[in-house]
């Protein structure tokens, strides 16, 4: 028994001595890096909109944090002229681009009923309007939310107008375009083409 205890402690001591030891300077550098990585929350988001099957919808949407609101700007192309439901959906999952259903339902952390942007849930962004050329310009403010709550979720553009009433999602028809919301590069300047 004494021999096995001696052998175990010898093996442990040798193993401990062979593990590389970090200097105090290296430990501080790792701590500083970790602190810096978590200190700053992103304030710019980006989504590149791609079409579901048999659609041609494309675009780029930018989000910027302004106090406790999100400013959302962008251009969506290749839509049919008229109004189209525009929402944030709960998942940034584009595995099913046949119909976009892998993005889930509207992002609704409070469980509020569907409605217009001023009295619905966070994912209710209302409608965007495409002109005769099929281009919709977006310039809206999403109130009382933070960028980090929507990162990794998806913008969804629907084929039809959101009636802002029907439950649970406004009867806006099929999903024609989706874009995952990611952290934007603040050094890349994007201006939608006119």
The answer to whether 30 is a known catalytic residue is no
| Structural tokens at position 84 | 């189209």
Same structural domain for residues 72 and 142? yes
**Residue 106: domain span:** 44-183
Strand-pair partners of 85: 127
Q: Do 31 and 107 belong together in one domain? A: no
Residue 163 pLDDT exceeds 70? yes
- Taking residues 7-31, report their average pLDDT: 49
Note if 3 is an active site residue.
Answer: no
Catalytic, 158? Answer yes
pLDDT at 1: 53
Higher pLDDT, 140 or 28: 140
Q: Is 2 helix (H, G, I), strand (E, B) or coil?
A: helix
Residue pair 109/91 in contact by the 8 Å Cβ criterion:
no
**Which H or E run contains 82?**
strand 82-89
Say whether pLDDT at 25 is over 80: no
Structure tokens at 116: 């217009």
Helices (H), 75-153: 147-150
Same domain, 8 and 89: no
Half-sphere exposure of 125 (CA within 13 A, CB side): 28
Choosing from 77, 84, 124, 153, the catalytic residue is 124
Residue 128's DSSP bridge partners are: 84
What's the whole-model pTM score? Answer: 0.75
Give the CATH number of the domain where residue 89 resides.
Answer: 2.60.40.200
Same domain, 55 and 23: no
115 in the same domain as 53? yes
Residues 108 and 17 in one domain: no
Question: Catalytic annotation on 148?
Answer: no
Based on the fold, state whether residues 142 and 177 are members of the same structural domain: yes
Tokens matching residue 154: 């998806």
Residue 70 to residue 175: CA distance in whole angstroms = 23
Closest CA to 72 of 15, 118, 140, 132: 140
CA 43 to chain centroid: 12
The total domain count for the chain is 2
């Amino acid at each position: 028994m004494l021999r096995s205890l001696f052998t175990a402690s010898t093996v442990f001591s040798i193993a401990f001595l062979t593990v590389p030891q970090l200097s105090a300077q290296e430990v501080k550098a790792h701590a500083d890096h970790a602190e810096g990585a978590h200190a700053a929350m992103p304030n710019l988001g980006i989504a590149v909109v791609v079409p579901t099957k048999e659609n041609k919808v494309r675009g780029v949407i930018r989000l910027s944090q302004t106090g406790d609101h999100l400013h959302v700007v962008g251009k969506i192309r290749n839509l049919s002229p008229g109004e189209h439901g525009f929402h944030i959906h709960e998942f940034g999952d584009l595995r099913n681009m046949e119909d976009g259903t892998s993005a889930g339902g509207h992002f609704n952390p409070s469980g509020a009923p569907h409605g217009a942007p001023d009295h619905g849930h966070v994912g209710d962004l209302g409608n965007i309007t495409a002109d005769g050329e099929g281009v919709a310009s977006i310039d809206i403010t999403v109130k009382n939310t933070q960028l980090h709550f929507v990162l990794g979720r998806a913008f969804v553009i629907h084929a039809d107008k959101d009636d802002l009433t029907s439950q649970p999602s406004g009867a806006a028809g099929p999903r024609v375009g989706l874009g995952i919301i990611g952290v934007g590069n603040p050094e890349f300047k994007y201006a939608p083409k006119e």
